[in-house]
Amino acid sequence: MEPTPTVRGPLRPVEVATAAVMAGVTVALSVIAVVVPVASALGLLAAVPMGIVAQRHRPRAVLAATVAATVVAFVVAGTSALAGVWMSALVGAMVGDVKRRGRGLATLVAYLVAVAPLVALFVDGMLLVFSNTRILLLQALTNTVHGISALMSRYATLTSLGIRIDSTVATLVQYWWLTIPLLLLVQCLVIG
């Protein structure tokens, strides 16, 4: 594959068109992942369209696609879809950049390990500032796991497992400021 000449200036029509279409696909996947609980795995695929934009065009095109997708996702499904679009754009941009430069998995992992702490710091900061949202999120998680544990306790063979899961999640919720960054790192590595 021949290196493409450096393009400067405003976005070309092909870049705008690609950014618009791929932003729409990213929004669709992110919104479906948020609205339909069974389809949450589609959120992992939402990074692919952004990766295509990043692989074929300039970073400016990825930024345009991200801004467009962010606005539409927020209007359609709120902050959960918005966060999904941001994460997809970030991971897609890194994967597309690595592919465009002809690098390998080691470079991608290095990118992801470098960026994950910054994302985690941002998320921790937002959860610290918006404490009511944090309390709601962690309480919903605790209630869900406690309910699953209660269901498991109905079966003698699963009782001890349910108790262990319940206590593990209680510990993870207690140390949320450390748990969330670790989960974000794992998520970045899995999506990438």
Domain ranges of the chain: 1-103, 104-192
What is the SS3 assignment for 106-165? Answer: HHHHHHHHHHHHHHHHHHHHHHHHCHHHHHHHHHHHHHHHHHHHHHHCCCHHHHHHHHHH
Q: What is the Cα–Cα distance from 27 to 43, expressed in whole angstroms? A: 10
Judge if pTM exceeds 0.85. no
76-81, Cβ contacts within 8 angstroms, sequence gap of 24 or more? 76/27, 76/31, 77/30, 77/31, 77/34, 77/35, 78/34, 80/34, 81/27, 81/30, 81/31, 81/33, 81/34
Percent of the chain with pLDDT over 90: 60
Per-residue pLDDT reduced to its tens digit, 140-165: 999 999 999 999 989 989 999 999 99
Q: What is the Cα–Cα distance from 58 to 89, expressed in whole angstroms? A: 14
Q: What is the Cα–Cα distance from 99 to 114, expressed in whole angstroms? A: 18
Is residue 110 scored above 60 in pLDDT?
A: yes
Residue 84 C-alpha from the chain's centroid:
5
Question: How large is the average pLDDT for residues 22-41?
Answer: 91
DSSP 7: -
| 1-5, 82-86, 95-99, 162-166: segment of lowest average pLDDT | 1-5
